[in-house]
Amino acid sequence: MTSAQPLVRTTGFVRPSRRAARDTRSLGRSGMGRLVALCWIGLIVCAVGLSWSTSLASRAAPGDNTHFDVFWVSLLCFLLPASVALLRRNTRDLDRVLLVIALGLLSMAPKYLAYPGGPAFFDEYAHWTQTERLTEDGLLFQKNNQVVVIGDYPAMHATAASLRHITGLDTYEVSMVMLLAQHVVSLAAVFAIGTMVGKSRHTGGIAALLYAVGPGFWFFNAQFSYEAYAIHLFLWSCVSLVHLHTAGSTARIRTSWLVVGLWISFALVASHHLSSYLNLVVSTSFVAAALFRWILRRESTQHVVEVLLFFAVVAFLTIWWFFTQAPNTSAYYTPYLEGGASEMLSIVESFGAETPEIETTGEDGAREFFKGSTLPIYEQLISFVVPPLAALLAGISFLVQWRRGLARTAAVAMTLVASLYFLVFPLMLSETGAEGARRSWSFTSLGFSVLVAVGMVSIAHLRRRIVRGTLLGIAAVCIALLMVGNVAVGMNEVYRFPGPYIYGSDTRSATSDIFSAAEWFGDTQGPNQTLIGDRTTQVAFASEARATLGVPSAANPIWDYTIGEAVPSDDVLHSTVANELRYVVIDKRQITAIPLIGFYLDQNEPLALEREEPVGEASIAKFDQLDYALRIYSSDNIVIYRFDLGRVTDLVSEETQR
Amino acid sequence: MTPGTPDVGKPVPLLAMAATFALGVMVIPASLRFVLIPAALLIPGHAMVCAIFGSALPFGGFRKVSLMIVLSLTSYPVSAIAAISVGIRLTRVSVVVTMLLLVLVCAAIVDFRNRRSGDVALGMPNGDRNVATNGAAPEVPVQWTSLLVPGAAMVLAALIIAVSPVVLPRASPQEFTTFSLSNRWSLVAGSVPIPEGSEPTVQVQLVNSSTQEQTYRLEPSVQNGDAWEPTVITLAAGERWNGSVTGPVPASVCRARLEIDLVQEGSAVDFDPLVLFFDDPALDC
C-alpha cells in the first residue's frame, strides 16, 4: 500500500512494517536509538522546566522575562530531538507514533500549569457553566447570556455531561480527560492524512509535528471550549474525505468512510458554528480538487460523485442547523462581519492615502502589532519571521508536489487548504479580521502541515549525507521557529502564564475575593438571580453562583450601573424593572486601571477600546445617593448591591406621571 | 462465523461488553467510577467501528484507537440530541440506555455482516470484499518491552506536571476580608418595617480570609438617630464570625438609613459600609 513503509494490518498497538523491523535491527548502527532516548530524556527535562517556568512566572517582577526563557529552553529540550527523530527516515514507526502521542499530551501542559484546578479563559467559564447546568437539569439548547451563541451548539456540553454521568468526575476533571484525548486524536488525524497523502508514516509523523507547532494548538485549543472540541471532529472529517479519494479502496470501504464522515460532520455541525463552516470550505476544496483531476482524466467519476455527495449532505446539515437550531448565530456574527468589513475598508483606503501609517498609529481601524505587549522581543521578532518562513516552506513543498505531477486528489485538496492559510494573512491588519484569521489557522494549518510534510520528507531521501544532515538541522530549527512565532501570535502573556493581578485581563483578574463573593451570593441569594457586573465578576457569578446575566446593548445600556458616573437614567431604571435586574456587583478596582481587554463589560460600551483613563471614583460612589440600593456584601474590593425593585418601580411611575 | 472468512467482530461480546459497562455505571459509586474512563472513550466507538467497517478498516493500532475515541466522543452528543428530540432529558440512566441502544444497533449490523460473510463462504453471491486482509504483509508483533522506556518517560513527565502546582512555590494567595448581611437579613429586598420603640437585631457575617489574626470593629449607625453599640471582633486566619448588631431606629421616619461600617485595625483598607433602610409602619411611606 505504500512505497516507503508499507501499511500493514495488525492487531497490535501499531503495525510495524518489514522495513521498520529492518530499521529496528539497525538501530545501534544508525544512532537512532540514542536519538529517541534523548527525546524521552528531553521530555522529562521539559516537564521539569515547564513547571519551573510557571512557578517563576507567578512570582515574577514586572519586566522580568526569565520565565519565558526557561519555558522555551525546556520546550526545545523535547521539541528539537523529537523534530529530528520525526524528520529522519530510519526512525521506527512505533517511535514516530509514541513521539506524536507525547507531543499531543505535552501540548496540554502549559495551560494546565498556568491555571490548574478550574476554568481560566473567558469562554471556558461559559462552557463550564453550560455543562454544569446541563448535568443538573438535563436540558440541551439552554440560553447562556455570557456567550449567547453557545446554547445553539450543545454537542460538547452533551459529551462532557454524559462523561460526567458515566465517570462521576467533576466538570474540570472531565474537561481535562476530553482535552487530552482530543489533542492526541487530532494529531492522529493529521498523522493519518499525512500518511495517506505522502504514502508513508514518515510524512504522517512530520505532518503531525507541523500541526502540533501550528497556531492555536498549545493554548487556544487547550481551553475547554466548543471550538477546541470541534477541531478534532473537523480533522477526522478530513480523514474521511481523504479516504474517499484513496486509490485502490473498494466501494465498501469508501461507503464506510462516507458514513463515518457524515456522522462526524453532523456532530461537528452541532458543536461549533465556525468549525462547521470551515468544514464546508475544506469539503469545497476536495470537490474542486476532484473536479480538477477529473477534467484531467486522472480521477474516476465515482470518486467525484462520492465527494460531491459528501459535500451536499454536509452543506445541507450546516444550513439546516443554522436556520432551524441556531437562532442566535446570525446576530452573533453580524457585528464581527460589519466591524471586519469596515476596518478592512478603512485600511484599503489608508493605503491609497499619501502617507499610510498602518503599523505605527493604529488609526483607521488598523492594528498596532504587539501594542503594549509584555512578550520578550525575540518572540515578537520571530512572529514576524513566521509568515515568510511558512510561505517559503510551503512554496518549496509545492514545487516538490508539482514535480510529482499532483498525483493525488487529496494532495491537491490539501494544497488548496494550505493556500487558504496564507490568503487570510492580510486580515491580520485589522482588529476584527485578526481574530478571524487566527481562528481559521487552526483549521487551515492542516493543509499547510501536510503540504510542507511532503516537502520535508524529500530532505531525508537526499543521497549526500552532509547535505541531508544540514538540511534536517535547518528543518528542525524552522519547526522550532514556527512554534515560537505561532505561540507569540496566538496568545498574550496573561493567558500563558500566571502572575500578578491585572484588572480586566480575564485570567488574572478572576481573583479569590471575586469567587468568594460569588460563593456567598450563590449560598444566600440562590441561583438564577439576574445581575450586572463587569466582565470578570459576571463570569465568576454566572459560573459559581449560577446567576443570570443582564445582556447590555446600545439600546439597553445597563453598563451605566457599573461604570456610569451619574445615577442611572429613567430609561435604565425602566429596563431594570422590566428585566427584573436585582443585583449589581462592583469591583472597586475599576477606578484604578483601564481593563487590559479594552472594555469593562461589553465592546459596545462608551469608549470601549479607546479609553485612556479608568472610570472616575463617582462610578462607585453613585450608589451612596440612591435610596433603592441596599449594600448587602462588602469586601476589600467587591461590593454587592441589591435593588429595592418596589422603590425603583415607584420612581419610574413618578417620573412617568411627571 | 465460518473459519477463513473475515473477522468482523461478534455481536455477543459487543453486547456483553456494553452491558458490563452499563452495569458499572449504574452500580459503582461515583467516587470510583473514574475507572470507567477508558471504557467510556472506547466502547461506543469500538461498536461503531465494528458495525461500519467490519474488518475493512485499512489501519489498526494508534489510528484505529483514535478513530474509536472520536466516534465515542461523537456518540454521546448525537444520542443526547436524539433523546432530547423525543423529550428525554440527559441523565445517567438516559446516557446508559442510549449507549446500550447504539451498541445494540451496531451488534445487529455486525450480526448481519457475519451472516453475509457466512453466505459468501458457502459460495453465495457477494459485493465487495475486504481488501485489508488481501495481500497484506505478515503481521509483525509489537515488542511491548520497547514501550517501557517511552511509557515510563511519559508517566514521569505527567507526574511532574501534575504535582508541580502544589510542590513548587507560587505567588502568595490573595488576602482579604468579607462582611455581609447574613441569614434572613441577606434576603431583605426593600425597606424593613420597624415598629416605633422596637430595636432591630441585624445579623452580620464576617470572614477573615487572610493568613494572620485580625481585629475588626463593627460600627453601626442610623442616619439622624442614636448611635448603636460598636462590636470588636478578633478572628484567627480563615475564621468566620456570625453575630449581630442592634440598636434603636428613630421614630416616625421613612427610609431611615442604617450603615454598618467595618474598620480593620492596622489596615488602610476602606470598606464600604453595609446599607439597609427602615420604615415606620405607622407612617404611609
Q: How much is the pLDDT for A9?
A: 40
CA A67 to chain B, closest CA, distance in angstroms equals: 13
Nearest CB neighbour to B37, from listed A177, A191, A524: A177
Quote the pLDDT of residue A29.
Answer: 47
Label residue B51 left, alpha or beta by phi (over 0 means left) and psi (-120 to 50 means alpha): alpha
pLDDT band at A463 (very low <50, low <70, confident <90, very high): confident
What does pLDDT average to over chain A?
89
What is the reported pLDDT for B9? 67
Q: What's the mean pLDDT in A317-333? A: 90
Interchain contact, A113 vs B165, CB within 8 Å: yes
Distance separating alpha carbons of residues A302 and A571, to the nearest angstrom: 64
Q: Which residues contact A335 (CB under 8 A, 6 or more apart)?
A: A603
In this predicted structure, what is the pLDDT of residue A28? 47
- Residue of chain A nearest B165, judged by CA positions: A113
Chain A environment of B223 (Cβ under 8 Å): none
State how far residue A607 is from chain B, nearest Cα, in angstroms: 28
Interface residue of A133, A590, A636, A638 to substitute, partner B, most B CBs within 10 Å: A636
| A37 interface with B at CB cutoff 8 Å | yes
Question: What are the chain B neighbours of A135 within 8 Å (beta carbons)?
Answer: 90
Asked if A11 and B139 count as a contact pair (C-beta separation under 8 A), the reply is yes
Instruction: Please state, in angstroms and as integers, the Cα–Cα distance from residue A190 to each residue in A96, A109, A450, A593, following that order.
Output: 13, 21, 8, 44
Is the minimum CB–CB distance between A222 and chain B shorter than 8 Å? no
pLDDT tens column, A385-415: 999 999 999 999 999 888 876 677 888 999 9
Q: Say if residue A487 is in the same domain as residue A529.
A: no
Length of chain A counted residue by residue: 658
Mean pLDDT computed over B210-224: 93
Mean pLDDT along residues A290-295: 91
A182–B136 CB contact, under 8 Å: no
Q: Is residue A12 part of a domain?
A: no
- The answer on pLDDT for A507 being more than 50 is yes
Does any domain span residue A142? no
Cell numbers at residue B104, please? 445494540
- So what's the pLDDT on residue B165? 95
Hey, are the CB atoms on A630 and B276 less than 8 Å from each other?
yes
**pLDDT score recorded for residue A405:** 67
Q: Specify whether A487 is located in the same domain as A544.
A: no
Residue A604: what pLDDT?
Answer: 86
Q: Return the pLDDT at B5.
A: 39
Is residue A223 within 8 A of residue A121, CB to CB? The reply is: yes
Q: Does A142 touch chain B (CB under 8 A)?
A: no
For an interface test with B, which of A142, A167, A580, A592 has the most B Cβ atoms less than 10 Å from its Cβ? A167
pLDDT at A340 over 90: no
Which residue of B lies nearest to A240 if distances are taken between CA atoms? B67
Last residue within a domain, chosen from A463, A496, A529? A496
Distance from CA of A553 to the nearest CA of B (A): 27
Contact B70 A51 (CB under 8 A): no
Give the minimum alpha-carbon distance from B268 to chain A in angstroms, rounded to a whole number. 10
Please state the rounded mean pLDDT for residues A562-584: 88
Look at A516 and B178 and tell me if their CB atoms are within 8 Å: yes
| pLDDT the model gives residue A208 | 98
Q: Residue B263: beta bridge partners?
A: B217
Check whether B200 has a pLDDT greater than 80: yes
pLDDT band for position A351 (cuts 50, 70, 90): low
Tell me the Ramachandran region of residue A133: left when phi exceeds 0, alpha when psi lies from -120 to 50, beta otherwise: alpha
Look at residue A48 and give its three-state secondary structure.
helix
Rounded to a whole number of angstroms, the distance from the CA of B205 to the nearest CA of chain A is 9
CB contacts of A211 in chain B (<8 Å) are none
Q: Which of B41, B69, B78 lies closest to A267 in CB terms?
A: B78
In a domain? residue A1: no
Residues A431 and A560 placed together within one structural domain of the fold: no
User: Quick check: A263 and B182 CB within 8 A?
Assistant: no
Give the 3-state DSSP-derived string for chain B, with helices as H, strands as E and coil as C. CCCCCCCCCCHHHHHHHHHHHHHHHHHCCHHHHHHHHHHHHHHHHHHHHHHHHCCCCCCCHHHHHHHHHHHHHHHHHHHHHHHHHCCCCCCHHHHHHHHHHHHHHHHHHHHHHHHHHHHHHCCCCCCCCCCCCCCCCCCCCCCHHHHHHHHHHHHHHHHHHHHHHHHCCCCCCCCEEEEEECHHHHHCCCCEECCCCCCCEEEEEEEEECCCCEEEEEEEEECCCCECCCEEEEECCCCEEEEEEECCCCCCCCCEEEEEEEEECCCCCCCCCEEEEEECCCCCC
**Cross-chain Cβ contact B137/A17 below 8 Å:** yes
Residue B2, pLDDT above cutoff 70:
no
Q: Which chain B residues contact residue A163 at CB under 8 A? A: 37, 40, 76
CA A422/CA A61 separation, integer angstroms:
38
Q: What is the DSSP string of A509-555?
A: T--HHHHHHHHHHHHHH-SS-EEE--HHHHHHHHHHS-PEEP---SS
Split at pLDDT 50, 70, 90, the class of A367 is low
Query: What's the Cα-to-Cα distance from B134 to each of A197, A244, A565, B55, rounded to whole Å?
Result: 22, 19, 78, 11
Q: Which domain holds residue A56?
A: 18-120+147-359+376-496
CB-based contact B61 A10, cutoff 8 Å: yes
Which residue ranges make up each domain of chain B?
Answer: 11-130, 176-279
Q: Are strands B256-264 and A548-549 parallel, antiparallel or unpaired?
A: unpaired
Query: Which of A468, A496, A524 represents a domain boundary (last residue)?
Result: A496
Q: Are residues A517 and A465 in the same domain?
A: no
Closest CA in chain B for residue A157: B77
Q: How close is the nearest chain B Cα to the Cα of A322, in Å?
A: 16
Q: What pLDDT score was predicted for residue A627?
A: 86
Q: Within a domain: residue A334?
A: yes
A492 and A613 in a single domain? The answer is no
Nearest CB to B169 within list A55, A140, A632: A55
Count of CB pairs separated by less than 8 Å, A with B: 347
Q: Is A1 on the interface with B (CB under 8 A)?
A: yes
Same domain, A31 and A101: yes
A253–B131 C-beta distance less than 8 A: yes
pLDDT over 70 percentage in chain A: 91
Using a CB-CB cut-off of 8 Å, the residues of chain A touching B182 are: 524
Angle between helices A431-460 and A226-244 (to 10 degrees): 40
Residue A359 has pLDDT above 80, yes or no: no
Which among A167, A184, A501 has CB closest to B34? A167
Q: What residues in B contact A259, CB-CB < 8 Å?
A: 52
CB contact under 8 A, A168 and B62: no
**Residue A302 domain-assigned (yes or no):** yes
Contact A169 B34 (CB under 8 A): yes
Lowest mean pLDDT across A230-239, A297-306, B105-114: A297-306
Task: Indicate if A446 and A535 belong to the same structural domain.
Answer: no
> Which residues lie closer than 8 Å to A562 by C-beta, 6 or more apart?
A532, A533, A534, A584, A585, A586, A590, A600, A601, A619
Tell me the CATH number at A603.
3.40.50
The mean per-residue pLDDT over the stretch B192-218 comes to 93
DSSP A225-271: SHHHHHHHHHHHHHHHHHHHT-TT--HHHHHHHHHHHHHHHHHHHTT
Mean pLDDT for A267-282 is: 95
CB contact under 8 A, A513 and B168: no
Q: How confident is the model at residue A608 (pLDDT cuts 50, 70, 90)?
A: confident
Interchain contact A176–B (C-beta under 8 A): no
pLDDT at A167 over 70: yes
Find, among B261, B144, B27, B56, the residue nearest to A9 by Cα: B56
Last-in-domain residue among A465, A496, A527: A496
Packing angle of the helix pair A201-212, A93-106 (nearest 10 deg):
10
Predicted local distance difference test score (pLDDT) of residue A364: 52
For residues A200 and A303, membership in a common domain is answered with yes
Q: Search chain B and give the residue with CA nearest A33.
A: B146
- Chain A CB contacts of B139 under 8 Å are 8-12, 15
Per mean pLDDT, which of A229-238, A419-428, A622-631, B276-285 is the most reliable?
A: A229-238
Identify the pLDDT of residue A366: 57
Q: Is the pLDDT of residue A416 over 50?
A: yes
Same domain for A518 and A491: no
pLDDT value of residue A398: 93
* Cβ pair A54:B269 closer than 8 A: no
Chain B residues whose CB is inside 8 A of the A162 CB are: 76-77, 79-80, 90, 95
Q: Are residues A437 and A519 in the same domain?
A: no
The pLDDT, as a whole number, for residue A14 is 43
| Residue among A50, A141, A633 whose CB faces B180 most closely | A633
For residue A8, pLDDT beyond 90: no
Q: Contact at 8 Å (CB) between B280 and B254?
A: yes
**pLDDT of res. A18:** 53
Q: How confident is the model at residue A517 (pLDDT cuts 50, 70, 90)?
A: very high
A626 shares contact with chain B (CB less than 8 Å): no
A321 CB within 8 Å of a chain B CB: no
**Average pLDDT of chain B to the nearest whole number:** 86
A587-598 tens-digit pLDDT: 999 999 999 999
Contact list in B for residue A517 (CB cut-off 8 A) is: 178
| A475 shares contact with chain B (CB less than 8 Å) | no
Is residue A368 predicted with pLDDT exceeding 90?
no
| Predicted TM-score of the model (pTM) | 0.90
Domain B176-279 matching CATH 2.60.40.10: the answer reads yes
What pLDDT score does A291 carry?
93
Segment A283-286 long-range contacts (CB within 8 Å, at least 24 positions apart):
A283/A237, A283/A241, A283/A307, A283/A310, A283/A311, A283/A314, A283/A315, A284/A311, A285/A413, A285/A416, A285/A417, A285/A420, A285/A447, A286/A241, A286/A244, A286/A245, A286/A310, A286/A311, A286/A409, A286/A410, A286/A413
Mean per-residue pLDDT, A546-550: 92
pLDDT (mean) for B134-156? 72
Name every chain A residue with its beta carbon within 8 A of the beta carbon of B154. Answer: 43, 101-102, 105
Cβ partners under 8 Å of residue A167, min gap 6: A174, A177, B33, B34, B36, B37, B40
Q: Which of A172, A43, A116, A169 is nearest to B162 (CA)?
A: A116
Instruction: Say if the Cβ atoms of A116 and B25 lie within 8 Å.
Output: no
Say yes or no: A621 contacts chain B, CB-CB below 8 A: no
- Do A485 and A517 have their domain in common? no
User: pLDDT at position B121, please?
Assistant: 44
Mean pLDDT of A249-262: 90
What is the helix (H) or strand (E) element at residue A420, kind and residue range? helix A409-423
Please check whether residue A348 lies inside any domain of the structure. Answer: yes
Total structural domains in chain A?
2
Q: In whole angstroms, give the CA distance from residue B67 to residue B51.
A: 13
The minimal CB distance from A263 to the residues B74, B150, B153 is found for B74
Positive or negative CA dihedral for A539, A543, A544, A545?
Answer: positive
pLDDT of A85 strictly over 90: yes
Which residues between 519 and 548 in chain A have a beta carbon less than 8 angstroms from any beta carbon of chain B? 520, 524-525
Predicted confidence at residue B131, as pLDDT, reads: 38
- A600 and A522 in one domain? yes
* pLDDT for res A355: 47
Give the residue with greater pLDDT, A369 vs B22: B22
Domain assignment of residue A503, yes or no: no
